[in-house]
């Protein structure tokens, strides 16, 4: 992955071109109503994310119990989460950002509204995750566990919606609140990263790379703003809450 930095860039460019072409193609055509395929896809991603969370969360708990917060955010990730089953599921998490682009296909073929937050999130998270992995970002385990957890719930919700089996108590506001909480923690982790890296005597004492942490701060900060905007537009006001569109 270090030797092929153009792969994620090429994937994002192709994604953008196909997204524009797909919308143009279906502009004058009927939606496909691919509900069965959508349900199967969401179920697959929900189960994948659940397993990923179960395989990475124990490592994060172990790290927090045995290392200081500074060590968790600054230590060599090859020692804290980059090996064994955790290392495997971290890598699978990074690679999963490519097939997750298929989410957009279902929005386009079903002629649903494609909001900026959706495609902006998919592009930026793919680029950031690839860069974090090849630069061995120390705080990566925090972001991986959070995203696996939120995606397990989010895609599970979408699956229930696709098969029309959502229980009354499962309000879409819950999913959006989880997404916003993830962004708040993400911003907090990046701010701590700036603090610890600024106080470090050298690179070896804190392996956070400023360009990667800056990208994370901008990314999570923009997500937080956009998700809050989405939350207010969707749930605050006179309109009744409706099912949340895919945004992450």
Question: Which residues participate in catalysis according to the annotation?
Answer: 121
The Cα–Cα gap between 39 and 123 comes to: 23
CA 96 to chain centre: 10
CA atoms of 50 and 155, how far apart (whole Å):
10
Identify whether the C-beta of residue 196 lies closer than 8 Å to the C-beta of residue 73: yes
Tally DSSP H helices, then E strands, for the chain. 10, 0
> CA 183, CA 227: separation in Å to the nearest integer?
9
Q: Residues 180, 224: contact at Cβ < 8 Å?
A: yes
- Judging by beta carbons within 10 Å of its beta carbon (0-12, 13-18, 19+), is residue 211 exposed, middle or buried? exposed
Contact status, residue 166 vs residue 157, Cβ threshold 8 Å: yes
């Amino acid at each position: 992955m270090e030797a092929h930095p153009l792969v994620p860039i090429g994937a994002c460019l192709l994604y953008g071109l196909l997204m524009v072409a797909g919308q143009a193609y279906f502009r004058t055509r009927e939606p496909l109503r691919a509900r069965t395929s959508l349900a199967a896809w969401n179920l697959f991603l929900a189960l994948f994310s659940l397993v990923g969370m179960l395989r990475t969360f124990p490592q994060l708990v172990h790290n927090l119990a045995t290392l200081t917060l500074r060590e968790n955010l600054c230590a060599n990730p090859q020692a804290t989460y980059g090996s064994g089953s955790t290392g495997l599921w971290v890598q699978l998490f990074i690679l999963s950002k490519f097939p997750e682009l298929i989410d957009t296909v279902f929005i386009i073929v079903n002629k649903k509204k494609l909001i900026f937050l959706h495609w902006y999130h998919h592009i930026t998270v793919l680029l950031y995750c690839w860069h974090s992995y090849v630069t061995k970002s120390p705080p990566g385990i925090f972001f991986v566990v959070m995203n696996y957890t939120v995606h397990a719930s989010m895609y599970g919700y979408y699956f229930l919606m696709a098969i029309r089996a959502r229980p009354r108590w499962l309000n879409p506001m819950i999913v959006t609140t989880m997404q916003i909480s993830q962004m708040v923690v993400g911003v907090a982790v990046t701010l701590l990263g700036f603090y610890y890296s600024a106080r470090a005597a050298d690179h070896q004492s804190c392996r956070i790379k400023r360009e990667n942490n800056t990208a994370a701060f901008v990314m999570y900060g923009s997500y937080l703003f956009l998700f809050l905007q989405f939350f207010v537009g969707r749930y605050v006001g006179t309109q009744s809450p409706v099912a949340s569109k895919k945004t992450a």
